């Protein structure tokens, strides 16, 4: 089981195929007794129904580098470059541009600019 914390982005895992929230990306605003709560919903979801967010190919994301956090760009996710010449992994957009940071595009600015 993952140790979630407030501020984490998650992906909701539906328990049945009729659940309209399946795969939805949310940001945790509160955790209380194994339930996570989100701005978008009044009710919480049990943490067993959540998985940490990781970008999927083609998903729209915010990208930025540590040296230029004030200049994010919104593009489709391409892949994670785990080799990166022996340093830390980097996120690459669909045009193969590397970035040190990535978060989901949720119809607003990245969190560090809000």
Is 99 found in the same domain as 83?
A: yes
What is this structure's pTM?
Answer: 0.81
106's tokens: 């949720």
Q: Is residue 87 part of a domain?
A: yes
Question: What number of other Cβ atoms are within 10 A of residue 3's Cβ?
Answer: 8
Range of the domain at 88: 60-106
5-15: pLDDT as tens digits: 999 999 888 76
Q: How many domains does the chain have?
A: 2
Shared domain for 68 and 92, answered yes or no, is yes
Beta bridge partners of 102: 63
- 48 with 73, same domain? no
Give the pLDDT score at 94: 94
| Of 101 and 19, the one with more pLDDT | 101
Tell me the pLDDT tens digit for each residue of 50-99: 999 999 999 999 999 999 899 999 999 999 988 655 567 789 999 999 99
Residue 100, helix vs strand vs coil: coil
Q: How confident is the model at residue 23 (pLDDT cuts 50, 70, 90)?
A: confident
């Amino acid at each position: 089981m993952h140790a979630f914390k407030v501020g984490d982005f998650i992906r909701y895992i539906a328990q049945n195929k009729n659940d309209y929230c399946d795969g939805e990306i949310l940001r945790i605003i509160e955790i209380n007794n194994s339930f996570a709560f989100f701005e978008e919903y009044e009710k919480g979801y049990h943490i067993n129904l959540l998985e940490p967010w990781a970008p999927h190919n083609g998903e729209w994301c915010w990208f930025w580098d540590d040296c230029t956090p004030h200049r994010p760009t919104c593009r489709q996710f391409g892949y994670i470059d785990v080799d990166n010449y022996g340093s830390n992994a980097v996120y690459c957009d669909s045009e193969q541009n590397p970035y040190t940071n990535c978060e989901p595009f949720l119809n607003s600015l990245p969190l560090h600019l809000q």
